[in-house]
Chains A and B, each alone.
Chain A
């Protein structure tokens, strides 16, 4: 071993990489490890439509290559990555064989373009709430109350659309109520320096009570009448085949959620405001010293998180999932999945976005796999939570929260 740099990497490998980047990359065990993981996934993928190999030969072959790459990676010292590739290969072979055993009709109905559309649809509320969570947590305030704020949006959104006659009214009402709920939370969490977990839990309880109370009061415990103005879909004409089926008819908020992710990334990492927000989350005292108003930033971020979470919640009742429907406690843990997406995505907009897509995929797959077994497909709902548990355990990689996340700040 030669001289090491401050990350513990061998300086000579660094030099080699600089001289000959591409071939060095190829010889790097990390590359083969990742390649193995991707190949493992690919082994399962070729057995399902649109490729749909009907023999077990191809999935098995590709899976074996993935396992071989994994073992090679393990021998080169990247143990965790290598074993990941081996597991991915085994899983790929298993799923591939399962898929070839199932009937072609079932396969085609489970794995088609609408799976993509549904994945994006299920991910939309999570993306909105997760972006809210990122802003709040990046500014140093843990927001367990996302669930409650979503629930507020779900009810007041459909109420606004019903009484106001337009989904725009619903959206504004949802955003407003979500903002006010978040403001109440912010007052307790920031001004009164209440414990943020306790405060967030209180918001969740309150939201269940308030939405349930007004649902009974305003609708007399009967379903919301038909014909409520719903969030419209954006129809893109002229997209061919697969593209048309998957993204040709997405909800307006789904498109908005894509824009939101990019916007959140730009604001947080490319603007002065974003730098200030992150400073408040990492070291509020230092931020205060250079003249940043920590309280103002935190108030703004928490309020924004409530607005975004409520819009995500409104999608549940007013989007294609709900179609103008409200039910007691209807968010059913989605706020917590959004929180999980924030953690899984390491408090970064794009990370959280991909996590939300993954969790949305689990939901969509659970729905699709009902053609095989209604009861067992329920288990797919567990996936986001297990993955997050694995992620916080540091098995997949380390997640690092903002340093001052959850710590109340008092001015001096």
Chain B
């Protein structure tokens, strides 16, 4: 077993043993030590490089491939920095950037959801289901209770969606704590239960479907009073709503919760080694349930702000369900962000930009078909997750770096195993 690696004192941390990396959180901690921010960057660069090669091979031209990626970069709106303007209606870069920010705010929250559970040693694959629960409950509250005070209505819908998703994820936590059911299995099942239940709710004749338009399987729009205000652009033009700041503040909440509170300490302790945590007097079961619920709350909040902020045009359709992937992308975001608050923020921005830039942002590009580019984004995402999973690869790189330093005659670092 590896030590948690908490000791700040100078003696080198014990050499990670190669054989049994122990719990998930412990493995991730090893990776975190091994290379810091360098490894995620290498991973991303490698993944993008491979996908450039894929495009070059299929288009038979390296030049076209580079042009395509330049187009994707333009699509993200990051070239806004060169032409800064705040008018979304007239400036394409500004509009693209605003949409990238919208995408990012959702991914920050779904990423934080996965990251929080990881910190407690659990793999919450159920972000997508929890996102859907949050989204639908927010839609239901936002559509009903039309006469409410706007502020109270927005808060009610947001808190309702968040709590519902927390309870939904809590099922997996309870099952893990009481009967030891593996959370990966139970959250996958909960995902698909949410998927088909949502399909029924939004389908023709379903309870949430808009009864004034009986043939189209789409929900009603959230009433204007329950919508989140936009701070950049306006509702008619899908501006950036204050959900962006809610997501940013959640990054701070996550950081404080994990690093500065007793709750976070207990969650991390259980994540590193449940037996040791129990020996130290921490209630492991309570923490598993609590961590899962908090994790679900982040994902549910993502769904709620998407619904109330207009990212999904204040409504959701049955046909949108299979194409909604943000909960799953949250897994890649958390893994790339090393399950830290800031890392998740950066990774969410990367994926948000890739996702938006490779599809809508491309518009009618002549260089690369937008639907081709979207699938390219899924490939990049898959490659990133694949490489990140290979901790032995990273460890061996880390170890060979140490050996290299030793061979070059600087101070001897602990003998290798």
Q: Is the CB of A389 within 8 A of B190?
A: yes
Contacts of A374 in B (CB 8 A): 203-205
Task: Knowing A198-B385, A205-B381, A206-B379, say if A375 contacts B188 (CB, 8 Å).
Answer: no
A149–chain B nearest beta-carbon distance, Å: 13
A336→B388 contact, CB < 8 A: no
Chain B positions 2-18 with a Cβ under 8 Å from a chain A Cβ: 18
- A195 close to B27 (CB less than 8 A): yes
Q: Which residues of A contact B24 (CB under 8 A)?
A: 195
Residues in A with CB closer than 8 Å to B375 are 208-210, 212-213, 215-216
Q: Closest B residue to A198 by CB, please name it.
A: B389
Interface secondary structure of B, over-half rule: helix
Total contacting residues, chain B, CB less than 8 A: 60
A392 touches B389 (CB 8 A): no
Given contacts A188-B389, A221-B371, contact A385 B192 (CB under 8 A): yes
User: A195-B24, A201-B385, A378-B203 in contact; A389/B193 too (CB < 8 A)?
Assistant: yes
How many CB-defined contacts (below 8 Å) exist between A and B? 168
Kindly state the separation between the CA atoms of A194 and B381 in the bound complex, as whole angstroms.
17
Chain B residue with Cβ nearest A382: B196
Q: Is the interface of A mostly helix, strand, loop or mixed?
A: helix
**A101 interface contact, C-beta 8 A:** no
Bound together, the chains give a CA A179 to CA B58 distance in angstroms of 22
Q: Which residues of B contact A329 (CB under 8 A)?
A: 322
A381 at the interface (CB under 8 A from B): yes
* Interface members, chain A 186-217 (any B CB < 8 Å): 188, 192-195, 197-199, 201-210, 212-213, 215-217
Do the beta carbons of A194 and B200 come within 8 Å of each other?
no
Cβ 8 A contact of B382, one of A192, A209, A333, A340: A209
Min distance, Cβ A258 to any Cβ of chain B, angstroms: 26
Q: How far is the CB of A370 from chain B (nearest CB, A)?
A: 11
Question: Is A226 interfacial (CB 8 A cutoff)?
Answer: no
Q: Which of A194, A336, A381 contacts B392 (CB 8 A)?
A: A194
Q: Whose C-beta in chain B lies nearest to the C-beta of A329?
A: B322
Kindly supply a per-residue 1/0 record for chain B positions 170-196, scoring 1 wherever the CB is within 8 Å of any chain A CB and 0 otherwise.
010001000101101110111111011
- The answer to whether A381 touches B393, judged by C-beta atoms less than 8 angstroms apart, is no
B residues near A208, Cβ cutoff 8 Å: 375, 378, 382
Query: For the complex, is B82 an interface residue (Cβ under 8 Å from A)?
Result: no
Instruction: State the CA gap A134–B334 with chains docked (Å).
Output: 30
User: Which A residues fall within an 8 A CB radius of B?
Assistant: 144, 184, 188, 192-195, 197-199, 201-210, 212-213, 215-217, 221, 329, 332-333, 336-337, 339-340, 343, 373-376, 378-379, 381-382, 385-386, 388-389, 392-394, 401, 408, 410, 412
Interface residues of B (CB under 8 A from A): 18-21, 24, 27, 54, 58, 123, 125, 171, 175, 179, 181-182, 184-186, 188-193, 195-197, 199-200, 203-206, 209, 322, 328, 331-332, 335, 369, 371-372, 374-383, 385-386, 388-393
Pairs A–B under 8 Å by Cβ, sample size 27: A144-B184, A188-B386, A188-B389, A192-B390, A194-B389, A194-B391, A195-B391, A198-B389, A201-B385, A202-B382, A204-B382, A205-B381, A205-B385, A206-B379, A209-B377, A209-B379, A209-B380, A216-B369, A221-B369, A221-B371, A336-B191, A337-B192, A382-B192, A385-B189, A385-B192, A385-B193, A401-B182
